[in-house]
Amino acid sequence: MQKLIEAIVKPLVDYPEDVRVEIDENTSRIVYKLSVNPADRGKVIGK
């Protein structure tokens, strides 16, 4: 799933080298935390 998120996000941004996906796992859920260059935030959230 981490690779899929990266594959979707990297073509959308100007700084693909700054895309990071962190995984936070516990017993009941998995949370993927996406970090991008501040200049790319609007592109990722759709602004």
In the chain, where are the structural domains located? 2-45
Token digits for 40?
A: 């790319």
H/E/C letters for each residue in 7-39? HHHHHHCCCHHHCEEEEEECCCCEEEEEECCHH
Taking the C-alpha atoms of residue 23 and residue 25, their distance in angstroms, rounded to an integer, is: 6
| 2 — pLDDT class (breaks 50, 70, 90) | very high
Residue with the two structure tokens 């017993």: 27
Q: What digits encode the pLDDT tens for the residues 3-47?
A: 999 999 999 999 999 999 999 999 899 999 999 999 999 999 987
pLDDT of residue 46: 87
Taking the C-alpha atoms of residue 39 and residue 27, their distance in angstroms, rounded to an integer, is: 35
Taking the C-alpha atoms of residue 23 and residue 46, their distance in angstroms, rounded to an integer, is: 23
